[in-house]
């Protein structure tokens, strides 16, 4: 077993003593023993410093341990952050290396609440997306090998069948073709296995990054966290680039074999080959979950107010269904739409321009809401039926049900979140087991979640509620024009869109609930279901009655 590292007290070392340190003060950049830490705690200059145990200090990632609190050139503490160079600086740097720079901000303001910032939640969400994509690609490449094996066996069996119809004259030709197929298989499998190995390696790296983030949250200073985020963002960006390069290259294309034996059937004695091996690369069509839009990039500024967010109508379209009741909607990664029609109970889809409307599934109950689950299925919630219905979009069939009585549904961090039409919000894993329940102070009808917060609508109390993951209420939003809030959706940074079917408005609410704005107003039937697609920056809205839908472009 490895011996734990030892760090000696910095004060005692100056007195030529080697006293093992008990704590580490990041602000002093110094370790202290049992006696010296008492003086450190009493000093006016350091008594408010946050220290950590020395064993926790050694748990920090190396890039955080190397973060310095002082300027290397002037041995003066960092006080400002230069936006021109994206670098910290002391007051002497302003007169020296940054004398021509104009954009500075106090470093304390920048690192304040950094662990609870939107930037942190965006990074965590991006890590989840990268992890999800890696898991999916590992599964995809594994299936690729399985299909290659299956197709190889089919070809070999076909060769055997034809070979039985021929005489000994074709022994050499059979051997040649088998070698060609097996060589192709070996080449293909070797290529796919190399991709799979790389993906496993990157997955392990992502797991380590996630562990480092938790350590940053719990152990590092705000300044360490700030610089740690910069390093992690670079690493995550590299993973994104790799995944996107895979998606854009031919590496993920499916390999399929087929064997043409017509020549053998027609003129057995005249052919020099038993068949012609055809190797097809089927284009990889799946849309990766990794966010690529401007909002999702880690170096983009989060909007400072609701007024900074611009909404423009792309189109309004009638689906040709008549007087329907579309109570839930979603946008797939490829831009196609999904709807649930309350009566008759159906799951519908159409193209991204509202055309080519199709019925996918007819239910034996009335659906209330729908959510798309990346790389997998669609989950439909029915309050009256007291169940979640999972639908396979490839076969358009119901594949399983989970008994739970809820009204609204959303999906985040590989979990389903359900509003029960009471004061309970359920977190479920994909097996249908309840992970946790949140007990609110008010009712929840529709629900949406970010990486850190849960938002729910309560039309019975004319309010929108924000809670943390433990159910603690963070804020409650009310408005003199908010009467019956129902549909609710959120951006990655926590801005909320909520529909009010009675006032016929759509509200935009800031992440802290302090700002709001009516961004859409309707005539006729008011808005009902609403969904914001975070990768496409598109907002889809249905009406309280009828088959009219509207799609909007959101600019941050």
Q: What is the pLDDT of residues 432-473, one digit of tens each?
A: 788 888 898 889 999 999 888 899 999 899 999 999 888 889
Range of the domain at 59: 10-113
For the stretch 274-290, what's the b/e string if a residue is b when 16 or more beta carbons lie within 10 angstroms of its beta carbon? Answer: bbebeeeeeebeeebbb
Residues 452 and 512 in one domain: yes
Domain edge (last residue) among 224, 248, 272: 248
Check whether the bond before 344 is cis (ω within 30° of 0): yes
Residues 539 and 494 in one domain: yes
Mean pLDDT of 410-428: 90
Residues 374 and 521 in one domain: yes
Any domain includes 176: yes
Domain edge (last residue) among 69, 84, 113: 113
Nearest to 435 by CA among 414, 451, 456: 414
Q: How far apart are CA 72 and CA 53, in angstroms?
A: 26
CATH, residue 452: 2.120.10.30
Total count of domains within the chain: 3
Nearest to 129 by CA among 414, 333, 393, 495: 414
Residues 508 and 370 in one domain: yes
Reported as a single tens digit per residue, the pLDDT across 206-245 is 899 888 888 888 888 888 888 888 888 888 888 888 888 8
Any domain includes 253: no
Residues 46 and 129 in one domain: no
Q: Which residue has the tokens 């022994």?
A: 171
**How many other CB atoms are found less than 10 A from the CB of residue 260?**
13
pLDDT at 421 exceeding the cut of 60: yes
End-to-end CA distance of the chain: 53
Reported as a single tens digit per residue, the pLDDT across 342-357 is 988 999 999 999 999 9
Q: Please give the pLDDT value at position 189.
A: 86
Q: Please give the pLDDT value at position 293.
A: 43
Domain edge (last residue) among 248, 270, 296: 248
Residues 527 and 399 in one domain: yes
Any domain includes 300: no
Which residues, at least 6 apart from 133, have a Cβ–Cβ distance to it below 8 Å? Answer: 243, 288, 289, 290
Q: Rounded to two decimals, what is the model's pTM?
A: 0.57
Any domain includes 288: no
Residues 23 and 147 in one domain: no
Residues 17 and 166 in one domain: no
Residues 326 and 433 in one domain: yes
Residues 61 and 195 in one domain: no
Any domain includes 379: yes
Residues 160 and 35 in one domain: no
């Amino acid at each position: 077993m490895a011996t734990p590292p030892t760090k000696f007290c910095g004060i005692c070392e100056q007195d030529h003593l080697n006293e093992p340190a008990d704590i580490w003060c990041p602000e002093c950049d110094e370790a202290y023993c049992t006696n010296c830490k008492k003086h450190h705690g009493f000093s006016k200059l350091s008594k408010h410093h946050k220290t950590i145990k020395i064993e926790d200090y050694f748990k920090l990632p190396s890039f955080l341990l190397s973060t310095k609190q002082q300027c290397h050139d002037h041995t003066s503490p960092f006080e400002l952050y230069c936006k021109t160079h994206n670098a910290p600086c002391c007051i002497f740097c302003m007169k020296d290396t940054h004398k021509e720079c104009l954009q500075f901000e106090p470093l304390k303001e920048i690192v304040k609440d950094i662990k609870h910032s939107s930037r942190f939640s965006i990074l965590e969400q991006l890590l989840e997306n990268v992890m999800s994509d890696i898991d999916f690609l590992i599964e995809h490449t594994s299936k690729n090998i399985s299909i290659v094996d299956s197709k190889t066996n089919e070809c070999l069996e076909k060769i055997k069948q034809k070979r039985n119809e021929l005489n000994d004259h074709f022994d050499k030709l059979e051997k040649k073709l088998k070698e060609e197929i097996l060589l192709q298989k070996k080449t293909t499998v070797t290529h796919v296995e190399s991709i799979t190995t790389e993906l496993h390696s990157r997955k392990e790296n992502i797991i380590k990054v996630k562990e480092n983030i938790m350590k940053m949250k719990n152990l590092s200073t705000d300044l360490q966290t700030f610089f740690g985020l910069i390093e992690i963002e670079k690493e995550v960006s590299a993973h994104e680039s790799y995944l996107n390069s895979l998606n854009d290259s031919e590496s993920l294309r499916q390999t399929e074999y087929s064997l043409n034996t017509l020549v053998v059937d027609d003129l057995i004695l005249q052919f020099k080959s038993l068949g012609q091996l055809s190797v097809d690369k089927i284009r990889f069509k799946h849309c990766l979950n990794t966010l690529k839009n401007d909002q999702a990039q880690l170096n983009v500024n989060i909007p400072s107010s609701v007024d900074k967010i611009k909404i423009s109508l792309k189109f309004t379209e009638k689906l040709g269904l008549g007087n329907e009741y579309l109570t839930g909607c979603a946008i797939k990664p490829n831009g196609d739409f999904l709807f649930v029609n309350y009566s008759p109970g159906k799951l519908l889809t159409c193209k991204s321009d509202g055309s080519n409307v199709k019925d996918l599934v007819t239910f034996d109950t009335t659906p209330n809401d729908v959510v798309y689950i990346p790389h997998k299925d669609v989950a439909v919630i029915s309050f009256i039926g007291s169940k979640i219905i999972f639908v396979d979009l490839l076969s358009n069939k119901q594949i399983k049900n989970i008994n739970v009585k809820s009204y609204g549904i959303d999906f985040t961090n590989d979990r389903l979140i359900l509003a029960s039409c009471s004061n309970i919000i359920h977190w479920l894993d994909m097996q249908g087991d309840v992970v946790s329940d949140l007990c609110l102070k008010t009712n929840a009808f529709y629900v949406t979640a970010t990486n850190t917060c849960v938002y729910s609508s309560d039309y019975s109390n004319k309010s929108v509620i924000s809670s943390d993951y433990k159910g603690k209420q963070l804020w409650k939003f009310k408005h003199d024009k908010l009467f019956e809030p129902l549909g609710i959706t959120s951006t990655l940074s926590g801005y909320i869109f909520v529909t009010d079917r009675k006032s016929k408005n759509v509200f935009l609410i800031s992440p802290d609930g302090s700002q709001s704005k009516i961004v859409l107003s309707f005539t006729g039937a008011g808005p009902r279901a609403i969904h914001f697609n975070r990768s496409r920056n598109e907002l889809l809205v249905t009406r309280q009655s009828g088959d009219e839908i509207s799609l909007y472009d959101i600019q941050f």
